[in-house]
Amino acid sequence: MTNKTTPPLVHIETFGCQMNESDSELVRSLLKQDGFAFTEDRERADVMLMNTCAIRENAHNKVYGHLGELQAVKKERPLVVGVLGCMAQSLKDELTKKVPLIDVLAGPDAYRQLPMLITNALQAQEQGFAKKSFALDLSEYETYEGVLPDREGGVNAWITVMRGCDNFCSFCVVPYTRGRERSRDPQSVLVEAQQAAALGYKQITLLGQNVNSYRSGDWDFAALISAVADTPGIERVRFTSPHPKDYPRSLIEAIAAHPKICKHIHLPLQSGSDRILDLMGREYTAADYSKLVDQIKGMIPDIVLTTDIICGFSTETEQDFESTCRLVEQTRFHSAFVFAYSERKNTIAARKFQDDIPEEVKGNRVKRLVELQREIGGARNREYVGQTLPVLVEREATRSPNRWMGKTDGNIAVIWDKALEPLQPGALTHRRITDSSVAALFAE
């Protein structure tokens, strides 16, 4: 530690996916074990950490925007600035050259080194000089076994069951920023689930870049999620994300059979064009995807399906885009995350293909697909009107503190008046649906 009698105050901001949220919980735990303290007030922080995502251009822009703001702050007072996670790993050269104010860079496998890196930077700052502290090696073994995440409340506990990815989809930077696949010991996952339940968490979400690939001895992911769902005190278990290329029947059976495994599958499509899917390296066709959807719906009739779609991938024609729209119409997802393709450095696509679709065309296709999905999603939500559904209370509604917001088993938001019944976050209640919108259900 430094010479200060009070512990250094750390402020951490998280960008990107659920995996980053989970990683920030690990970072807080590791730093607190070493005597650091945390603050929500940026003005009081001695250390500013940004846990970053490298998947989308928008996340990059937000991080660079925050770094620009810190440039002025650092001129006014001592401040250690750290960039963690995927951007630190994938853009280390660019960050160190373009943003000299950065003191600490740590990749996703280097968080155990963070206390030392930050301490070195703080001590150098006290002595009047700048010391850059970087740790960016990828590991074949690091799964952060034995580190209990420092969670911040709520009803959901993230548990990362595996790290890295071996799929190498051509558009994706994850294998280069998070390394190769490795699975956690199942007993450590179950212990963490039990600890979460003891702390009052009612829902667990299991995380992995491709949970289908989870393997530890005789355990596959279907066995793991079933065991987690048996944890006393846990009401619901979710997971993300699987890959359509190797979705196991055993996992469908587990979802169908276990009452606490949520009937919701986020199944990334990315494109409905076989030609584009091949260029993306997805290893399935549109027909393969539809066959899997039919199998899932046949075994779990009330399943809620959501997806990810990329518009404007390299060489995508209007015909390719129309193929995606047809598959969306056919599948009738409850919701979809639709993105314009943004080329990521070091990916296969960046090396082999040209990002040749004009931004205006990409934006137009995103808009059209979003409008199509809004029609479908709105229709799917109207199907629930008149039904009484089990809902897990999560928090006050964002725009109205007089209303509760909870989620159905299928992960659809439900909003209702607080005055109807005294409840608390984490309560499992039944609500009769009286109205709906594209984004939510409304209940008595």
Please enumerate, by residue number, every residue annotated as part of a binding site for [4Fe-4S] cluster: 17, 53, 86, 165, 169, 172
Do the beta carbons of residue 358 and residue 366 sit within 8 Å?
no
Contact residues for 23 (Cβ-Cβ < 8 A; gap 6+) = 14, 51, 84, 85, 108, 111, 160
Count CA within 13 A, CB hemisphere, residue 39.
12
**Is the alpha carbon torsion for 110, 114, 120, 122 positive or negative?**
positive
Cα–Cα separations (whole angstroms), residue 5 to 30, 118, 388: 20, 16, 57
- Quick count: other Cβ atoms within 10 Å of Cβ 410? 18
Asked, as a colleague might, if the bond just before 213 is cis with ω within 30 of 0, I would say no
Structure tokens at 124: 């150098």
Q: Which residues are annotated as a binding site?
A: 17, 53, 86, 165, 169, 172
Name the token pair of 196: 């979460």
The residues, ordered by sequence, that sit 6+ positions from 126 with a Cβ below 8 Å of its Cβ are: 2, 3, 78
CA–CA separation, 284 and 244 (whole Å): 7
